[in-house]
Homo-oligomer: A and B are copies of this chain.
Amino acid sequence: MPDTISFARGAPSLDIIDIEGLKAASIRAFDNDPGGTTAYGTSVGYLPLREWIAERHGVTPEHVLVTNGSMQADAFLFDHLVGQGTDVVVEKPTYDRTLLGLRQRGATIHPVSLETDGIDVAELRALIEGGVKPALAHIIPNFQNPAGYTLSAEKRAALLALAREHGFTIFEDDPYIAIRFSGESLPTMLSQDESGSVVYASSFSKTVCPGVRVGYLVGAPDLIANIAGRATNTYIAPDMVSQSIVNEFCRAGDLDRSIATVKAALKERVAILTAALSEHLPEATFQAPEGGYFMWVELPEGAQIDKIAAAATERGVAIVKGTDFLLEGGENTLRLAYSGVTADQIEEGVKRLADAVHAAA
C-alpha cells in the first residue's frame, strides 16, 4: 500500500507553520517577561495576551478568558450551561466533538439543517415556536466544520434577533475566522450583540500551530468570572509559557505573516482539490470554501460511506465519514480536510478516493 494521503485530520501541514518565528517568540517571552512567563499566573490566562485579545475584539479584558485550547473552553462553557435534559441547538452536520461533549452532559440535542449560507433560521424558529426552549445554540459561523459553509450577514442578524427574543445563548465557535482566502469578511455576531446573547470562542491552533494549546472565550464578565472559577479548580491556571510565546508572536506581527502564509497555501489547495474532484469524481457535489480547513462532499443518493471509507483506507487515502457529524443520515457524504495535505499530494489523493467510490458502488 502506498503512503496514506490524509484528508482526515483538521491540522495544518508543517510547511505552513512559522518555526523560526516561534523560536524567536520563545526567546522574547523569557527575555521580556521571565516572571510572568514562568509563574503560575491566574486562571484567566496570561494577562498581556488577554489584553491583546480583548483589544482585537473591542472589549475590556474582563470579557476574556484564555484557556489550554478552545476545546477546553468549550468544556468549561458546557459544564456551566448544559446539564441533563438541557435543550441545545446544533448545526446539522456539526463538529463531532461538539456532539460528544453535549451528549456526555445529557443535553437534548436539536440538530437544525445547515444550508450553504449557514443554519436554517426559519427551521430553528419553527422548532422554538413548536415548544422547544433552547438554552444554547452552537454555531460555527465561518467555514464551518465539517461543511466549510459560512453564515450570511442576514442570517447572523436573524439569529441574534431570535436569541434576544427567546433568551437563548449563541455560542459563536469561530476558530477559522482568520483563514479567509476569498470573498468578504463578515462581522462577528459578538460584535453586533447588544443583548448579551453571545459567547464567543476562538483559538490560535489554526493561525500559530495546534501544538500550542491556546484558545479563548469572550463573553459577559459575570460568565467569564464563573468560568475562571471553574478553571482555577481544574488546573489553577493555564500554561503561561505557551501563552507568553503566543503573545510575543501576535504583538511582533508574526501572527499576521503566519496567517498570510496559511491563506495562500490553503487557497491553492482548494483550487487543486475542486479541480481534481471535477475531473476524477464528477458525480460529487460540493461548494468550494472561501476559507478554513474543510470541504463537505455529497455523493449521489445510495452511496454507502462505510464501504467507501474502508475502500479508501485500502487505497491509501483517509477521509472522515459524514455520518460522524450527524446524529442520523449522511450515508452519502464525507468531509475532506485540505489543511494537512500538500498541494502535490492532492490530485493523487482524489484519484484514490474516486477509485474507492467506484469500487464501493
Q: Point out residues on A near B: beta carbons under 8 Å.
A: 9, 11, 14, 17, 19, 22-23, 26-27, 30-31, 34-41, 68-69, 71-72, 75, 97, 100-101, 104, 205, 209-213, 233-242, 244-245
Q: Is the CB of A211 within 8 A of B234?
A: no
A34's partner among B17, B213, B238 (CB-CB below 8 A) is B17
Verify B241–A241 contact, CB threshold 8 A: yes
Note all chain B residues with C-beta closer than 8 A to A35: 14
Contact partner of A72 (CB less than 8 A), chosen from B14, B22, B31, B234, is B234
Which of A239, A240, A244 has the most B CB atoms < 10 Å from its CB? A239
Chain B residues within an 8 Å CB radius of A34: 14, 17, 19
Interface centre among A11, A234, A241 (most CB of B within 10 A): A241
Chain B residues, Cβ within 8 Å of A14: 34-35, 38-39
Nearest chain B CB to A53's CB is how many angstroms away? 18
Q: Are A38 and B17 interface neighbours, CB within 8 A?
A: yes
Q: Are B75 and A211 in contact (CB under 8 A)?
A: no
CA distance A209 to B244 in the complex (A): 14
Residues of A contacting B: mostly: helix
Specify which of B27, B211, B236 is in contact with A69 (CB 8 Å cutoff): B236
* Given contact pairs A211-B40, A211-B41, A233 touches B19 in the complex (Cβ within 8 A): no
User: Measured between C-beta atoms, what is the minimum distance from A285 to chain B in Å?
Assistant: 30
Contact A27 B26 (CB under 8 A): yes
Cα distance A97–B23 in the bound complex, in angstroms:
35
**Known contacts A14-B35, A23-B26: does B233 contact A212 (CB below 8 Å)?**
no
The complex places the Cα of A30 from the Cα of B100 at a distance, in Å, of 33
CB contacts (< 8 Å) of A244 on chain B: these are 211
Contacts of A100 in B (CB 8 A): 233
**Cα-based distance from A327 to B235 in the complex (angstroms):** 22
> Min CB distance, A315 to chain B, in Å?
25
Determine the chain B residues whose CB is within 8 A of the CB of A37 once the complex forms: 211
Add 14 more A-B contacts to A101-B233, A239-B239 (CB < 8 A).
A19-B30, A22-B38, A22-B241, A23-B31, A39-B209, A40-B205, A40-B210, A211-B244, A212-B239, A212-B241, A213-B235, A241-B241, A241-B242, A242-B242
Contact A213 B238 (CB under 8 A): yes
- Taking a contact as CB atoms closer than 8 A, the residue among B41, B72, B211, B245 that contacts A240 in the complex is B211
A238 to B212, CA, bound (A): 9
